């Protein structure tokens, strides 16, 4: 007798097995920022029993309002806890890591321009903070070896394409030389190297993701797309650095968060995965498209003094992540349209950020630049 079932024509599942236990408890550090909060919102919305504790220092970039949707939903709120604290504080970190099945570390100072003005916090969080998290995991590995817990927590470090430095041609692969060129990217590279050293030396179960330029709702208005969208809504000048022909590869925030979750579950221990976007574009083209969405004129754009050490191009090869079974879902034009709409509809969110300390930052970063600006042509 033959098998009566029709043949299974589905392609084989390329994903390696899930590395986390069922219904894991995740410690998400930096989860009140732009990408971390998207990750927390998306994972809790799946309603699959995962619990999340967010540890966030609430720097100028952290915002509890980014997690407001969770508090408003009792099903999600029951599986969520928020702790305000610093990843560089071992007394805070230790008990939280002891209670976690995995740590997903988004916490960092994330703006290149601020790393040029004031680099110290980038190093404290990006290097000492990562060191404190890794030491807490090492302590849990000892407890696991002594039979005091089932397994030591997995650690995922959220890193960036900027660690490769400026890529004049071709696409960076995970094994390429790191060549960071700003204090921000140097701190990110240092954090990654520390993570890798714990995998090699202590056998820590680590994975690293290198994401490209991310955009979407809740993006802090210091960054290119939200700064230009919110300035344009107010008919304020748009300060384009240099000739505006620097290339970035844009990745929608839910795709970045989804890729991180995929690597957390399926990534192989000790491995690093590029997370590229789908749209390598010069900044001028990005600005042209967002002005079209807004119905605002190019005359708002001003050519200002360039960022020192400005990386000309980032571009990554995504075949390793694709082989792990991940695909991005949101194309750039679709993502940009919904991002512009989100900023139109959420003025109260960004106006609250563009007040107080923002004014002094804006003056320091852009005051002289705008005074000496020319037409962007």
- Contacts to ligand TDX by CB under 6 A: 110-112, 160, 162, 213, 223-224, 227, 239-241, 246, 248, 283, 307
147 in the Ramachandran plot: left (φ > 0), alpha (ψ -120 to 50) or beta? left
Tokens 């079932």, residue? Answer: 5
Rounded distance between C-alpha atoms, residue 185 and residue 179, angstroms: 9
Considering the complex, state which of residue 110 and residue 157 has its C-beta at the smaller distance from ligand TDX.
Answer: 110
Phi (first) and psi of residue 111, to 5 degrees: -110, 120
56, 86, 140, 161: the active-site residue: 161
Closer CB to ligand NAD, 67 or 376, in the complex: 67
Question: Quick one: what does residue 125 bind among ligand NAD, ligand TDX, none, with the CB cut-off 5 to 8 Å set by partner type?
Answer: ligand NAD
SS3 of 306, please?
A: coil
Catalytic site includes residue 162:
yes
Q: Does 110 bind ligand NAD (CB under 6 A)?
A: yes
Alpha carbons 294 and 287: distance in angstroms, whole number: 10
Closest-approach residue to ligand NAD (CB): 33
User: Active site residue: 39, 184, 273, 366, which one?
Assistant: 184
88 versus 190: smaller Cβ distance to ligand NAD: 88
Q: Report which of 108, 206, 230 is spatially closest to residue 152, judged by C-alpha positions.
A: 206
User: How many angstroms separate the CA atoms of 29 and 4, rounded?
Assistant: 51
The tokens for 17 are: 């097995």
Question: Of the candidates 129, 165, 217, 277, which one interacts with ligand NAD according to CB under 6 A?
Answer: 129
Out of 87, 134, 178, 300, the only residue in the binding site for ligand NAD (CB under 6 A) is 87
Query: Active-site residue 375, yes or no?
Result: no
Give yes or no for a contact between 244 and 373, defined as CB atoms under 8 angstroms apart: no
| 36 touches ligand NAD by CB under 6 A | yes
Are 64 and 38 contacting, i.e. CB atoms less than 8 angstroms apart? Answer: no
148 is catalytic: no
The binder of 32, among ligand TDX, ligand NAD, none, by C-beta within 5 to 8 A per type, is: ligand NAD
d(CA 333, CA 326): 21
Catalytic residues: 161-162, 184
* Interface contacts to ligand NAD, rule CB under 6 A: 29-30, 32-36, 55-59, 61-62, 86-88, 106-108, 110, 125, 129, 158, 160, 188, 211, 213-214, 220
């Amino acid at each position: 007798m033959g098998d009566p079932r029709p043949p299974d024509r589905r392609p084989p599942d390329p994903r390696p097995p899930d590395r986390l236990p069922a219904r894991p408890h995740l410690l998400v550090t930096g989860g009140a920022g732009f990408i971390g909060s998207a990750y927390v919102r998306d994972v809790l919305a799946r309603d699959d029993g995962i619990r999340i504790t967010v540890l966030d220092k609430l720097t100028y970039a952290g915002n509890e309002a980014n997690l407001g949707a969770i508090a408003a939903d009792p099903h999600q709120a029951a599986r969520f806890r928020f702790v305000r604290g610093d990843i560089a504080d071992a007394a805070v970190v230790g008990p939280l890591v002891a209670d976690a099945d995995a740590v997903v570390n988004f916490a960092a100072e994330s703006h290149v321009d601020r790393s040029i003005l004031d680099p110290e916090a980038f190093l404290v969080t990006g290097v000492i903070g990562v060191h404190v998290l890794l030491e807490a995991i090492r302590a849990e590995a000892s407890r696991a070896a002594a039979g005091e817990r089932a397994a030591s927590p997995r650690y995922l470090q959220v890193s960036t394409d900027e660690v490769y430095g400026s890529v004049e041609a071709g696409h960076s692969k995970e094994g390429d030389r790191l060549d960071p060129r700003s204090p921000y990217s140097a701190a990110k590279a240092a954090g990654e190297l520390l993570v890798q050293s714990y995998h090699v030396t202590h056998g820590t179960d680590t994975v690293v993701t290198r994401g490209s330029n991310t955009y979407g709702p809740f993006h802090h208005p210091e960054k290119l797309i939200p700064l230009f969208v919110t300035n344009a809504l107010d008919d304020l000048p748009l300060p384009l650095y240099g000739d505006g022909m620097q290339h970035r590869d844009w990745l929608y925030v839910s795709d970045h968060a989804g890729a991180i979750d995929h690597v957390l579950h399926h990534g192989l221990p000790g491995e690093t995965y590029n997370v590229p976007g789908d749209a390598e574009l010069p900044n001028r083209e990005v600005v042209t498209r967002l002005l079209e969405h807004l119905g605002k004129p190019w005359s708002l754009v001003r050519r200002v003094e360039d960022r020192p050490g400005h990386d000309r191009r980032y571009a990554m090869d995504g075949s390793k992540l694709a082989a792990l079974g991940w695909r991005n879902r949101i194309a750039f034009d679709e993502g940009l349209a919904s991002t512009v709409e989100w900023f139109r509809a959420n003025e109260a969110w960004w106006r609250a950020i563009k007040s107080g300390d923002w004014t002094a930052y804006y003056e320091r970063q852009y005051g002289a630049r705008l005074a000496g600006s020319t037409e962007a042509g």
